[in-house]
Amino acid sequence: MQKSVLKIQKLGAPPEGYEAGKPLDKKAFRIWDERIEAVQLIQKPITWEEAEVLIRCCPTDHMSGIEWTFLHCIESVLKPEELERYRTLIEQCNSDMMKQELLRRLEAKKL
């Protein structure tokens, strides 16, 4: 498993409110920076094991665009012959926002 995915696993799902105007303390900023760095270092395509980690650690709120990097990493595991497995993966998502976007994009691909 990639070190960057293990780092995301260790950090867990990010707290809500990064773009809601709430002031963040230094610890929250440090975690934010660690998360961004880890997500940006993920090499695609990822493995199913890595996808299962990421799907449980998705942002539940917008995070200045980092949610798109998460989404693209998760999507990189999709192959047409494993469509049902991918749908099952999406259903495990911790984030309603991300789950809806992954499903919307899957339907748009018409696989």
SS3 for 1-69 is CCHHHHHHHHHCCCCCCCCCCCCCCHHHHHHHHHHHHHHHCCCCCCCHHHHHHHHCCCCCCCCCCHHHH
Query: Rounded to whole angstroms, how far apart are CA atoms 90 and 94?
Result: 9
Tell me the average pLDDT of the chain: 88
**Which pTM does this prediction carry?**
0.86
Segment 73-102, tens digit of pLDDT: 999 999 999 999 999 999 999 999 999 999
Quick one: which of 103, 97, 56, 34 has its CA closest to 75?
103
Domains of the chain, residue spans = 3-109
